[in-house]
Amino acid sequence: MSWCEQQYTGLAPSQHGGLERDHIEALIAMGEIDRDEAVEFPFELGYIYDAFRKVRFSKVPKDDGFALYPRDSFSFAEIEAYNRMSGLDLQPWEIDAMMSINGIYERSTHGNG
């Protein structure tokens, strides 16, 4: 979950203006923060993050690619429907991980990060 914390916290507005991730990038560029301290994405668990994004966000085409827009709800019912339709057969711990990722996302987007 550390990677998700790092990613979604970066989307929060910075007290210095702009986004927090931009502020962090500036600190790295100035040598104040070491980039090696960043948390690496856990590729072996990427399928869980991918499932979370597919359930949580609508993918909308744009001229320069696509954009992701958050859906109104994210609950066990949506995960259950995705699990059934995708044939992924997510286990309880994987569903719990998706709910935790959503909690991190919600906290960061509602200013409680």
> What is the pTM for the complete model shown?
0.64
Distance of alpha carbon 1 from alpha carbon 97, whole angstroms: 8
pLDDT tens digits for range 74-92: 899 999 999 999 998 999 9
Distance of alpha carbon 103 from alpha carbon 105, whole angstroms: 5
Residue type, 75: S
pLDDT at 27: 66
Distance of alpha carbon 12 from alpha carbon 68, whole angstroms: 17
Q: Is the pLDDT of residue 73 over 60?
A: yes
Tokens of 97: 């991980």
